[in-house]
Structure 1
Amino acid sequence: MGQTGLLDNRWDDAYAATLDEPGKLLYRSNLLGADKRITNYGGGNTSAKVLETDPLTGEKVRVMWVKGSGGDVGTIKLDGFATLYLDKLEALKSIYKGVEDEDRMVGFLPHCTFNLNPRAASIDTPLHGFVPFDHVDHMHPDAIIAIAASKNSKELTQQIFGADIGWLPWRRPGFQLGLDLEAFVKANPTAKGVVLESHGLFTWDNDAKACYELTLEIINKAITWFAKETEGKTIFGGAIAKSLSVEERRAIAARLMPEIRGHIGRDERKLGHFDDQEAVLEFVNSKDLKPLGALGTSCPDHFLRTKIRPLILDLDTANPDVDALLAGLDQALADYRADYVRYYEACKHDNSPKIRDPNPVIFLIPGVGLLSFAKDKATARIAGEFYVNAINVMRGASTVSEYQGLPEQEAFDIEYWLLEEAKLQRMPKPKSLAGRVAFITGGAGGIGRATAERLANEGACVVLADIDEAALEVTKGDFEKRFSADAVRSVKLDVTKEDTVLSAFTQASVEFGGVDILVSNAGIASSAPVEETTLAMWNKNIDILATGYFLVSREAFRLFRRQNIGGNVVFVASKNGLASSPNASAYCTAKAAEIHLARCLALEGADAGIRVNTVNPDAVLRGSKIWNGEWREQRAASSKIEVTDLEEHYRKRSMLKLNVLPEDIAEAIYFLTSDASAKSTGNIINVDAGNAQSFTR
């Protein structure tokens, strides 16, 4: 069943004793949601019925706390739970007219809200409310869904659990399923839970800890049963392909992902995720890959994230011809889209929402693994995780029985459910750089870090590239806390070494699917009269500031052209690239080379929608690595002032009498990377607080 071993009981009595009933519900929820074998991200829900003081009457009333719409039990906080008067929820039964009334009933849930709680109640609320127990868990464990998705799931449920766990046939979640659960409990008062066909598990108890332990007990019983029943059996019909090496898999993923991203991301940018864990490789290498993949997923949570079925790309692992695979990509995608349109047209209703993006979310490649794509990295990663859950389900069900996907009409009715559409319409508008990946050299320094922060705040994923490993680690850790681990990657990079530049862009492609923005910012500075400028000093400036900018730009251009969805390059040059400065010939010449290289690249990239622009800072001392040490001392000596007076000296020297900060440069870079400057290329923005010598015209 994918991840092996039994679930551990992680309940801490001492800690739980400090909690009230809502607190115990939160504790239980977080424990359950922390293990993907119990439920997937955003899947399942939990509830507790507790006595609360009515804010209007001051009397004690029964209130149900239940996971709110769109929440995740693993990461939920108390404010993620909806709260409803139980008597008002019960009263809704009197106005229910039958299954055709399901959607209308959802509109009445807000009328049951306790204490003006703004958290919207989910469609699963009646499933919890009508079960006459104080604590209810609804989970999507792979081991249980493997039973629920088997052809003889009712018989398997009875065989494994006896009378403890019942079985109910497939029904879309909603008011009627809540009534079905209530009827089951009344008819089976000693039952501890129920398996829902093609869906998941419900368990209940009148104590929070007992409910948690019951959920673990039932899942562990299923895991143990599957381990025994599948031991020694051929899985997925056996292997007909073999896994390539880790290096080969990553290299192929790095080639495929930008191409796929370009093909499916023209209307809405997509980010990618690569997964080659053992469970994935076992499936993609198997004889049953195509027949099982074609059946589609079973659990509603699965195909809402992954679409009903994946796109399988043929690769001969004995002779992996990636060029041939790429040559057939257009046709493979066209066939998938045509089949998705067929599915939509065959299943749509008069009031169905318009067809959504017909491109696949999940790509499966023998010998290589799984690629998933979505509008942001987290969603792409989670979609991949959901399909791994689906693989685990298919593994169990097809080994002990016959796996059944959800019928297309049932799948469509959930995917295009009007209530689901309303939820999508309520989602906030994407940020300006959502779906974009920014590769930032010198990313752990003052300007680089400020730029990464500015772009991440606008929804971009960032690749921090820097030669300083210690600073890189600190910056990455900070960004993970502030923007999430999905939004940031780091790579040690010496921009003067061709092989490390190639490797860094390969890493970016595997981690995110490609790159949209290059901010070339790696820096160095030196100061000496020309007669004291050594060849080593001259070469170091040229190597980093000219050759380094050439190498990262060349690789970015190659990637941009493969993606074929445009691209954006911003050079961080210097006022000194336009205005000469004494005792800095190596630095000024290299910065001038940067500016001219940017102009050349703007000419070359325009036909592919690749924009190249330059930002010229001046005297950005705060947070800057190049201003720590000799450069600061040399510039102070050149101006015949004390080192401590340098910042004030530059402020007074500027026309606007202002200091220039890293955030000021980051703002200019953001403008040039955003659609606000979509018609600008080959331009220079001076951010120097005014310097007549560096006027561009």
Structure 2
Amino acid sequence: MESKKTNALNNSLAGDEGLNAGSFKHVSYLWNDEEAAKLAGDEVALLVYRSNLLGADLRLTNYGGGNTSCKATAKDPLTGKDVEVMWVKGSGGDLGTMKRSGLAALYVDRLRSLKNIYRGIEHEDEMVELFNHCIYDLASKAPSIDTPLHGFLPYKHIDHLHPDAAIAIAAAKDGKKITQELFNGSIGWVEWQRPGFDLGLKLKAAIDENPGLRGIMLGSHGLFTWGNTAYESYVNTLEVIEKCAQYLEDNYGKKRPTFGGQKLQSLPKEERLAKAAALAPVLRGFCSSKQNMIGHFTDDDRVLEYINSNDLERLAPMGTSCPDHFLRTKISPLVLNISTDEDVTDVTAIKEKLAPQFEAYRNMYAEYYETCKHPNSPAMRDANPVIILYPGVGMFSFAKDKQTTRVASEFYINAINVMKGAEAVSEYTSLPRQEAFNIEYWLLEEAKLQRMPKPKPLSGRIALITGSAGGIGKAIAKKFAAEGACVVINDINEERLQGAMEEFKTQFGRDTASSTLLDVTNNDTIEKAFTDAVLAFGGVDIVINNAGISISKSITDHSIADWDKLYDILVKGQFLVSKAGIEIMRKQNIGGDIINIVSKNSVVAGPNNAGYGSAKAAQAHLSRLLAAELGSDKIRVNTVNPDAVIADSNIWAGGWAEGRAKAYGITVEELPAYYAKRTLLNEAILPEDIANACFVFVGGLLNKSTGNVLNVDGGVAAAFLR
């Protein structure tokens, strides 16, 4: 195991013996001696371990931000000689989840020899291609632009992070002076410049001038720290950030009230959420003028302190300082000019008020692009805001998928923390607009965007499928999630719902699905489910009416309760859920889809089926009626008619199997074979077959189809519509 007694940093701010979780107030000490001991002797494994610990604390760096490295001896596969190799986080990775495969491995001597052919900062970008000539492990990740920043420093282990506390000092008007005084010269300072080869040379020059440094602050950007072992680097990083954070805390409110004091009070929690839920689909519609966006909302206390403050009007237009922040949040946010007592449920009025505000933002962004662009700049990207601030209520963010919009929200909270800290100790400064543009429209960033996978067919779309904790509903939700959609999982059974959500998190991650209890016969739960969907994702694009029940009895055995239950769940439920979904789709004004899972029984008459069959027929005609009504809203309404979907279905509950077997004069055990045999294709129908049919309607190839019926029954001639 690495010794904790060999810290070579003579100017350490704190002794490193006996450190534990209680040794730090502002950062998390997560190092576990037993876990590290298992990795002893494998510097790369320790690098991954250290990186994961650093990435687990959002106060140190956010998702995808920062990079770490180690240098160690390895055998050259061609000569068999020992060579020095640097392993560094590759392009596009995340420290918190990084594995060994997320590292780039390069020959150190080759990387450093590139300075012999470096033609100057005007030719900076051409060096990235040359990194490929330094690759040691041909299976490693592509090297990032930060590779030379690690390569030219002489230390074995290096951390480059974007901690809020450090960036607050780095973005302060007096940041260099504060750094010098706070660390007594043990932390160097390098002025802002775009990451790349030249910045790596400047870091090396700073070390050459002062070999005793334990770290370097990058103006407006972040922090470099290091050590001779993974543990030394980890502790050094925590100690430096801890000191920065404590310095900020000691100064909050001393110079002036935080953010100049509060200008207004937040609405109570329930009112904030109600306002956010009512407004989110409208905002999403404006932000989706180029492509469908997914939303995120937060009323985090840090956000409320900022958006309710006297300084909001001054600070918000300045934008962020750290490149990692504004690459994800755009140059500046849109601050809504809406008072907290305005009625945001009046859709027409609120759209009329918001339209010029969005137009002004788009014009601002276009002017920024036209003023700062270069002859070879990529075309202007979507001019809509990513971050939207509603004083008194909270913060919305909108991006191409849920992970991206959630991360954008997290990054803007980082930016708020930076502004708060910088204003507490000095005066906040943001990057000049031209510098910000040069990062946002950097040709290397554009190339990275072009390499990203093509969006899936349902990317940017949000689907609520009733009864989606099992059976057909869950199969549809899984299919849609696999095709890029965000899905709202719901069920009347809480235990089944929890199990389905765990399954979705395991299969699709944390950002694909949300869950809510939903009884389609209870309008209060329907409204809450759609509110939950809106707060989770910003709106709804696809509604699948799937929840159902089956009762098979002769007309004389049918009770009034049976009849009412069938019509409440199948017909009234479809009506109520569709109505709630349509209201949201109309707020968004970007169209949408409603698919009703009906049945072969809606057109085929059979014995012992009066209640179920007539309710299904009502569902079918309601589908046609809605298709006729909603065309002008670009909302398509289509129907899928399954038959005899047996697997993982509740259809056999409540005596349905016994009733159908009795009607056909067979046993319950004979039903599956009976159903398959009576079809033209002699096939059993599975939940996945219904899911595929639903996807056909929403996957993009049938955008001009509405009022249609798709039979998925293996071929039942009696169910042919024409």
Q: Report the TM-score, using the length of structure 1 for normalisation.
A: 0.98
RMSD: 1.2
- State the match for 1:280 in structure 2: 303
Letter aligned with residue 226 of structure 1: L
Using the TM superposition, give the Cα deviation of residue 500 of structure 1 relative to its aligned residue in structure 2, in angstroms.
Answer: 1.4
Q: Which of 524, 527, 531 in structure 1 is aligned with 2:552?
A: 527
Q: Which of 206, 212, 215 in structure 1 is aligned with 2:228?
A: 206
Determine whether 1:11 maps to 2:31. yes
Q: Which of 485, 503, 512 in structure 2 is aligned with 1:478?
A: 503
Secondary structure of the corresponding residue to residue 236 of structure 1? helix
- State the match for 2:7 in structure 1: none
- State the match for 2:264 in structure 1: 241
Percent identity over the alignment? 54
List gaps (5 residues or longer) in structure 2: 1-23
Name the stretch that deviates more: 466-475 or 313-322: 313-322
Paired with 1:604 and 1:212, the residues of 2 have a C-alpha distance of 63
- State the match for 1:255 in structure 2: 278
- State the match for 1:490 in structure 2: 515
Determine whether 1:452 maps to 2:477. yes
Paired with 1:492 and 1:474, the residues of 2 have a C-alpha distance of 13
Q: Is the 8 A contact 1:32 1:39 kept in 2?
A: yes
Determine whether 1:159 maps to 2:184. no
Paired with 1:209 and 1:42, the residues of 2 have a C-alpha distance of 22
Using the TM superposition, give the Cα deviation of residue 430 of structure 1 relative to its aligned residue in structure 2, in angstroms.
Answer: 0.2
Determine whether 1:106 maps to 2:128. yes
- Report Cα offsets for 1:560-599 as digits up to 9, x if no partner: 1111111101000011111012112110010000000000
Determine whether 1:215 maps to 2:237. yes
Using the TM superposition, give the Cα deviation of residue 558 of structure 1 relative to its aligned residue in structure 2, in angstroms.
Answer: 1.2
Q: Which of 399, 406, 429 in structure 1 is aligned with 2:431?
A: 406
Paired with 2:545 and 2:484, the residues of 1 have a C-alpha distance of 20
- Report Cα offsets for 1:41-82 as digits up to 9, x if no partner: 111100000111111111111110000011111111110000
- Report Cα offsets for 1:238-273 as digits up to 9, x if no partner: 001111111111111112111111112132110000
Secondary structure of the corresponding residue to residue 531 of structure 1? coil
Q: Is the 8 A contact 1:55 1:115 kept in 2?
A: no
Using the TM superposition, give the Cα deviation of residue 231 of structure 1 relative to its aligned residue in structure 2, in angstroms.
Answer: 5.0
Paired with 2:570 and 2:512, the residues of 1 have a C-alpha distance of 28
- Report Cα offsets for 1:514-541 as digits up to 9, x if no partner: 0010110001000111011100000000
Aligned counterparts, 1:591-610, within 5 A: 591-610=616-635
Using the TM superposition, give the Cα deviation of residue 693 of structure 1 relative to its aligned residue in structure 2, in angstroms.
Answer: 1.2
Determine whether 1:294 maps to 2:317. yes
Using the TM superposition, give the Cα deviation of residue 115 of structure 1 relative to its aligned residue in structure 2, in angstroms.
Answer: 2.4
Aligned counterparts, 1:224-373, within 5 A: 224-230=246-252, 233-317=256-340, 323=346, 325-373=350-398
Secondary structure of the corresponding residue to residue 632 of structure 1? helix
Name the stretch that deviates more: 116-125 or 212-221: 116-125
Aligned counterparts, 1:467-616, within 5 A: 467-616=492-641
Paired with 1:154 and 1:179, the residues of 2 have a C-alpha distance of 19
Secondary structure of the corresponding residue to residue 675 of structure 1? coil
Paired with 1:266 and 1:647, the residues of 2 have a C-alpha distance of 48
- State the match for 1:185 in structure 2: 207
Name the stretch that deviates more: 258-267 or 564-573: 258-267
- State the match for 1:64 in structure 2: 86
Letter aligned with residue 30 of structure 1: N
Paired with 1:532 and 1:429, the residues of 2 have a C-alpha distance of 56
Q: Report the TM-score, using the length of structure 2 for normalisation.
A: 0.95
List gaps (5 residues or longer) in structure 1: none
Paired with 2:161 and 2:437, the residues of 1 have a C-alpha distance of 22
Q: Is the 8 A contact 1:241 1:317 kept in 2?
A: no
Paired with 1:159 and 1:307, the residues of 2 have a C-alpha distance of 33
- State the match for 2:11 in structure 1: none
Name the stretch that deviates more: 225-234 or 471-480: 225-234
- Report Cα offsets for 1:616-659 as digits up to 9, x if no partner: 10000110012234111221222222212211111111121110
- State the match for 1:32 in structure 2: 54
Letter aligned with residue 438 of structure 2: D
Q: Is the 8 A contact 2:260 2:309 kept in 1?
A: yes
Q: Is the 8 A contact 2:253 2:424 kept in 1?
A: no
Paired with 2:653 and 2:615, the residues of 1 have a C-alpha distance of 20
- Report Cα offsets for 1:119-171 as digits up to 9, x if no partner: 11000000000000011000000000000000010011012111211111111
Paired with 1:34 and 1:485, the residues of 2 have a C-alpha distance of 15
Letter aligned with residue 6 of structure 1: H
Paired with 1:610 and 1:629, the residues of 2 have a C-alpha distance of 35
Q: Is the 8 A contact 1:256 1:326 kept in 2?
A: no
Using the TM superposition, give the Cα deviation of residue 445 of structure 1 relative to its aligned residue in structure 2, in angstroms.
Answer: 2.1
Letter aligned with residue 597 of structure 2: V
Consecutive aligned runs of 4 or more in structure 1 exceeding 6 Å deviation:
none
Q: Is the 8 A contact 1:313 1:325 kept in 2?
A: no
Q: Is the 8 A contact 2:278 2:344 kept in 1?
A: no
Secondary structure of the corresponding residue to residue 464 of structure 1? strand
Paired with 2:554 and 2:205, the residues of 1 have a C-alpha distance of 91
Q: Is the 8 A contact 1:41 1:382 kept in 2?
A: yes
- State the match for 1:174 in structure 2: 196
Using the TM superposition, give the Cα deviation of residue 274 of structure 1 relative to its aligned residue in structure 2, in angstroms.
Answer: 0.2
Paired with 1:328 and 1:501, the residues of 2 have a C-alpha distance of 29
Paired with 1:361 and 1:5, the residues of 2 have a C-alpha distance of 33
Secondary structure of the corresponding residue to residue 530 of structure 1? coil
Letter aligned with residue 265 of structure 2: K
- State the match for 1:420 in structure 2: 445
Count of matched residue positions in the alignment of Structure 1 and Structure 2: 694
